[in-house]
Amino acid sequence: MKSIRLFFGSLLLLGALSACSGEGFAIVIDPQSYEQAKEEVDAYAAAIAQADGYKVEIVEDIWGVPDSIRAVLQEMRLRSCNPIVGAVFVGDIPVPMVRGAQHLASAFKMDEQKYPRKKSSIPSDRFYDDFSLEFDYIGHDEGTPLFYYNLAAEGAQSLSPDIFSGRIRPVDADGKVRIDALKAFLLKAADARLNPPVMDQMLFFSGHGYISESKTARLDEKRVWFEHFPMIDDGRNHISYIDYSDVVPVKPHLMNELMRSDLSVAMLHHHGAPDTEYLNAVERPYMVRDAKKYIIKNLRSHIYRSKQRGRDYKAKQRELQAEFDVPDSWFKDVLSEELHQADSLEEASMDLYIDDFAGYGYKPQARLVILDACFNGSFQLEDCIADQYIFQEGGTVAVQANSVNSLQDKWHDRFFGIVAQGGCAGDLVRYAPYIESHLIGDPTFRFAYDGANLDKIILKDSKCAWKRMLRRGTPDQQALAIEHLYRKGALSSAKLLDIYSSSPYATVRLEALWCLTQERGDDFIKAVELAMGDADEFIRRIAVKLAGKTGDERLIPGLIKVFLTNNATSRIVFNTTYALNSFSEAPLLEEFDAQIGDVPMVNAEVETERLRKSLVRSATRFLEDEQSIWAPGTSTKERRGNIRQIRSNLCFANVPALLEYLPVCDDPAMQITLLEALGWHRLAWNAGQIADAALAISADEAYPEEVRREALKTYNRIAK
């Protein structure tokens, strides 16, 4: 093992050089943390070296500047001797705050011109692990680890990390000193590497309001778990499931499950904040007495909030009485402190907060936890939910979490099973196509496995090895092979379509479909058409979204079929209503009329008219807003807001009008906003028109420099 100091742009080697063979791994740590926890850091490094055969190097960062760290990691990755496969950032390592890259996020769309940069930037370690990206330095918040960068137009506009990475950033919380928390975690992680647990027991959870509370989605999710982990398909009960509605409040029940000593993995689907896992809703009343109690409590909360905000709460009471026709007696003791405390305690019992870890003695045992939620992995803050999971005395050593908000329909389990098939926890983030996804904890963690180390296979990237894996591997290994063979140009769109059409595995079909989104073309359209009728709910859900992202009229029959399906899942119905907006009204109604006669229904005339109105409403929901963009007389504020809206929803028949508006718009800020918004539509059937217009603007010196740079970024997002 050797140590490297980052020192005025050069490398000062400390200790003897390792033999030039095998792969490397970097532990990037601030000097103070290394000095105070050197024994534990060295033990952690030695455990990784022993478990994986890596040449582990400690990179001591004495600059505290992201650019320097990135340069060293890139050099370590590209060298011929012990190239690194991954890195972990320990202690106070600078946090890159990325701007101009919202197209790489699953859901984050905050207006960067309107909101402060600290709030409207994305904390992301893709700065450190994806060397195809390029960045322009913006600035630094003094006294913080936050450094701001803009994603440059000249670099890649999609994610493809070169190494896996993770974050171990302890904080002073719950009466613990950060260095003690760091020491304890490193020893826990080292033990997990030297004594890797066997993948055995799994838990998944659904919180209130998540993915429209689709039951079918969760049924299919369990089936796919057996594809991810075929070793558990042995007739024993390995998978448990909890829905938020099973118990009210569900929090103690969920915490108890996560503290099971035999639990390997927990997948938690819910809404979130940096300090909160949102679990329950208020329990629905089933009896008349319960309904009355529910209403009184709701009325009481309105009046209490009104008083807190300094408003006339008595007037609020009169307003509520008039609106809901309730008697005076229902407002008895409405501002009672005792009732308020009881309401607050009941509300607090519904969700899991940072303080609950210490307050309840909550020590999760699941080795790997996936927090499929917004903001739970906000590692740029002094504390977050993900940090709490790893710094407890329990068994959790790795948490996948999001630094900002995330899409409910995101691909949350891509290659999930490889952590028990030779891959590591960091690989879950390396292949997650989202800038906000991060591994909090030990990225080298992996479950016990008798086969080859997948990360070494990934580094060698042999076409022959991937072809063998595609023929003989488990479903996740096949999917990983598809990804790498496609990157190497070894799989045509026709072959990807054949894989999608023939594979019995949802994970393999989804990967083939994903690669086809990069190809676009006729085979992609055929795959989307097939996928809207796939056996797996998530694939059907994604296919409906893809149909909307293309606006290709060849997909209208399939989309209308889904629209008219009685048993479409709640989340697919939700996505369909938005996908319809991408198409013009006339062809949608024409196909509706062609199919409606074959749909069995009672009260056919009334139901047909209801469905027709619903179709038109969905198709034209944003049409007036879009047309106002180029219409004279629209206010600047309204125009800007409607332009930002087309990032998510755009009828592609309006693209020519938007492109005509671009050169006549005399506001550079508005031109930048419109170019950025149009760049979201790389799958549109007329995306080539957008790309051509953007390329022309990028080369036209009549436009300001900042407009030309945004145009180049839009071109690179669509054309490459």
DSSP assignment of 418-459, as one string? GGGTT--HHHHHHT---TTEEEEE-TT-----SS--HHHHHH
Q: What is the pLDDT of residue 173?
A: 62
Q: What is the CA radius of gyration of the chain?
A: 27
Q: What is the pLDDT of residues 395-425, one digit of tens each?
A: 999 999 999 999 999 999 999 999 999 999 9
Residue-wise pLDDT tens digits, 659-668: 999 999 989 9
Question: pLDDT tens, 531-564?
Answer: 999 999 999 999 999 999 999 999 999 999 999 9
CA 15 vs. chain centroid, Å, equals: 40
Give the chain's mean pLDDT: 93
The CATH architecture of the domain made up of 178-280+351-441 is 3-Layer(aba) Sandwich (3.40)
E strand or H helix that includes residue 206: strand 201-206
Which CATH superfamily includes the segment(s) 492-619?
Leucine-rich Repeat Variant (1.25.10.10)
Confidence grade of residue 174 (pLDDT, cut at 50, 70, 90): low
Query: Model-level pTM?
Result: 0.93
Among 381, 399, 380, smallest CA distance to 389 is for: 399
Asked whether residue 5 carries a pLDDT value surpassing 60, the answer given is: no
CATH topology identical between 2-168 and 492-619: no
Question: Cα 421 to chain center, whole Å?
Answer: 23
Sign of the four-CA dihedral 645, 647, 651, 657: positive
Quick one: average pLDDT of 245-270? 96
Residues 686-691: what's their mean pLDDT?
97
Per-residue pLDDT band for 8 (boundaries 50, 70, 90) equals very low
Give the three-state DSSP class for 89. strand
Is it true that the peptide bond before 249 is cis, omega within 30 degrees of 0?
A: yes
Starting at the earlier edge strand, list the strands of the sheet with 95-99.
122-123, 95-99, 146-151, 135-140
Per-residue pLDDT tens digits for 270-300: 999 999 999 998 777 888 888 888 888 888 8
User: What is the per-residue DSSP string for 296-335?
Assistant: HHHHHHHHHHHHHTTS-HHHHHHHHHHHHT--GGGGTTTT
Tell whether the model's pLDDT for residue 586 goes beyond 80: yes
- Averaged pLDDT for residues 590-617: 93
What does the block give as tokens for 26?
Answer: 């970097």
- Tell me which of 96-100, 300-304, 680-684 is least confident: 300-304
Q: Where are the domains of the chain?
A: 2-168, 178-280+351-441, 288-348, 492-619, 625-719
Three-class DSSP category at 592: helix
Distance between CA atoms of residues 29 and 474, nearest Å? 37
Q: So what's the pLDDT on residue 372?
A: 97
Q: Which one-letter amino acid corresponds to residue 531?
A: A
Tell me 492's DSSP state: -
Note the pLDDT of residue 16.
35
pLDDT 10s digits, 60-76: 998 899 999 999 999 99
Q: What percent of the chain has pLDDT over 70?
A: 97
Predicted confidence band of residue 14 (pLDDT cuts 50, 70, 90) = very low
Q: Beta partners for 271?
A: 278
Coil, helix or strand at residue 517: helix
Going by their DSSP bridges, the two strands 24-29 and 2-7 should be labelled as unpaired
**Exposed / middle / buried, residue 473 (Cβ in 10 Å: 0-12, 13-18, 19+):** middle
Whether the ω angle into residue 504 lies within 30 degrees of 0, i.e. cis, is no
What is the per-residue pLDDT across 421-473, written as a single tens digit (0 to 9) for each?
999 999 999 999 999 999 999 999 999 999 989 999 999 999 999 999 999 99
Q: Which fold has domain 2-168?
A: Rossmann fold (3.40.50)
Residue 501 has what pLDDT?
98
